Chains A and B, each alone.
Chain A
Amino acid sequence: MNWIATYTLLSKEVTRWRKVWLQTVLAPVVTALLYLLVFGHVLEGRVEVFPGVSYTEFLIPGLLMMAVIQNAFANTSSSMIQSKVMGSIVFILLPPFSALEMFLAFIGAAILRGLAVGVGVFLLAYFYVGVSIENIFVILAFAVLGSYVMAALGLIAGMWAEKFDQIASFQSFLIVPLTFLSGVFYSITSLPPFWYQMSKANPFFYMIDGFRYGFFGQSDQPVLLSLAVMLSASVVLTLGCVLMLKSGYKLRDA
């Protein structure tokens, strides 16, 4: 491992989103806030998901996680596709990076952006609604694992895609549906049996369910199961990314 090189690439990737923070951090925070205002206002008092938890409170963890993971995904995928399209990818292909070093730098920067957005949404929600915290370690673990998994997925999408609109399709046909169907706005126990089973096959569900446990101490599925799903997903995606980077798939063969 060359730590200086890895750290430099990490800080370059962080600088990249930090320089345009209005768009990369503030905008998603505002979007999450709008969801919270609109859905919270419309559905407050009509739906009770967990006993003793208001709907707006219930909504917060899901919205927070959604913002975190979408931005983690956006960071790796857009950085990768942009440097491929613009050709500046050569600046990281010419130095002696190993696949693992590249992976850690890209993922690290994306996690930091996910967490920055998460902290923003959290603070707003905290002052606007008030947020209870059952277990901060569970919250952090799922925030980090969720953004890790999504950053890795974004990296794969970025390596695979040749044009910006392929990333957009990846987002609108895979990420957004899976997120919306993962119980951000509802508890999956309220679904008909078929859809309940389908939801349990959605890995995004475990991301949000485990995260929610950290806030309420209650969840649809045991938190350890969610943790196991997230850890397995991390391992698989890490292997996938490192192998792709190592083979130079669509990077060194263009």
Chain B
Amino acid sequence: MTQEIPANAEQQPAISLRGVTKRYGKLQALSDVSFDIRQGEFFGLLGPNGAGKSTLISALAGLIRVNSGHISILGADVEKDYRRARMNLGVVPQEIVMDPFFTVRETLEFQSGYFGLRNNGKWIDELLEQLGLNDKADSNMRKLSGGMKRRVLIAQALVHKPKVLVLDEPTAGVDVELRQSMWRFVRRLHKEGHTIVLTTHYLEEAEELCDRIAIIDKGKLLALETKQDLLARGLGSKLLVRASHSIETIPPQYLDRVTRLAGNEVELTIHRDSDSIMQILDGLRAASISIEYVSVLNDSLEDVFIRMTGEQSGVRA
């Protein structure tokens, strides 16, 4: 199978979304979503349940038709040029699905054939090895545990060595050991030049792995930034101050920064770029607070995420 590569293939975004809108009846699952994922990125797609992450993935995989907008994979439109788009895309669906008639190896061999590949045995062996499925190769799909079925799904998404790999919550319900070996494998693919797109509800995972992160909620893109920018975004960090006595009064210019005041401790939000911590501390001292201990608490991705999507979730806010 020969693949035509346009002259400017290098500069093409791995995934490009322009004005993508999807409605289910009255529900707006995606509204006017536009952004690019660059080649070679490790990209995180975050958002609460029902945000539209899986809908977005289905749209770019051609599993659903969007109401308006355009999506392309490495420059190939997912509808008009679907062959080239799909040859370059591997998708691990969120739901565990399998064909109960076949063994693991048969499943992978058929999947290779669907992409026009014959004699893909060597790569299949490697996938089985890397995903720890060697001793299950000839087991029927029905007899695998949930985590193993998930590994087969990953292998299936990779049979044709797609340049762009999209994983929709691949670590849900997966044990710690597998999660680590899975990430080792995905990192290796990333190092070898594959573009990786990941959705997850484990924010530490995204924080650890992703270069850039998009946050979507209710079908809208809320933010798309590098992890560093996102972490430093807006409210930034907190300043924890402990006094040698219980704190009674706070200088009025700092009042709206106070997030917590309890006994001899006060917590203030600070803008890392624009604030001078020394100035704030001087201000507190001037109000005759004798400072005993100071600490700067950096926001985790979870804090940022909750702040951005938190209003409606209520649970943790």
A binding-site residues for B, Cβ under 8 Å: 2, 4-5, 7-9, 11-12, 15-16, 19-20, 83, 86-88, 90-98, 248, 252-254
Contact = CB atoms under 8 A, between A and B. Distances in A.
A108 to B, nearest CB: 14
Contacts of B132: none
A95 B115 CA distance: 6
Contact of A93 (B63, B101, B110, B118): B63
B294 interface: no
A140 B248 CA distance: 98
Given A2-B116, A252-B64, A252-B65, A19 B1 contact: no
Contact of A15 (B101, B117, B160): B101
B64 A9 contact: no
B93 A90 contact: yes
Given A15-B101, A87-B97, A95-B111, A4 B118 contact: yes
A2 B1 contact: yes
Nearest to A95: B114
Contacts of A2: 1, 116
B210 interface: no
Contact of A96 (B65, B83, B91, B98): B83
Which among B93, B98, B113, B160 has the greatest number of chain A C-beta atoms within 10 A? Answer: B113
Interface string B79-111: 000111111010101010111111000100011
Contact of A8 (B61, B99, B113, B160): B113
B156 interface: yes
Given A94-B63, A252-B65, A5 B97 contact: no
B48 interface: no
A253 B65 contact: yes
A36 B267 CA distance: 89
Contacts of B283: none
A252 B62 CA distance: 7
A88 B116 CA distance: 19
Contacts of A4: 1, 113, 116-118
Contacts of A253: 64-65
A5 B1 CA distance: 11
A17 to B, nearest CB: 9
Nearest to B109: A8
Contacts of B65: 248, 252-253
A19 B102 CA distance: 9
A8 B119 CA distance: 12
A95 B62 CA distance: 10
Interface of B: 1, 61-65, 82-87, 89, 91, 93, 95, 97-102, 106, 110-118, 156, 160
Contact of A83 (B95, B99, B111, B115): B99
27 contacts: A4-B117, A4-B118, A5-B116, A7-B113, A8-B110, A9-B113, A15-B102, A15-B106, A83-B99, A86-B98, A87-B97, A91-B97, A91-B110, A91-B111, A91-B156, A93-B61, A93-B62, A93-B63, A94-B61, A94-B62, A95-B160, A96-B83, A96-B86, A248-B65, A252-B64, A253-B64, A253-B65
Given A8-B110, A96-B87, A248-B65, A91 B99 contact: yes
Contacts of B82: 96
Contacts of B100: 86
Nearest to A87: B97
A240 B116 CA distance: 26
Contact of B114 (A8, A86, A87, A252): A8
Nearest to B83: A96
Contact of A95 (B86, B97, B101): B86
Contact of B97 (A7, A86, A96): A86
Nearest to A248: B65
A252 B63 contact: yes
B97 A90 contact: yes
Contacts of B110: 8-9, 11-12, 91
Those 8 A-B pairs whose CB atoms lie nearest each other, nearest first: A8-B113, A87-B97, A95-B114, A96-B83, A96-B86, A88-B99, A12-B110, A4-B116
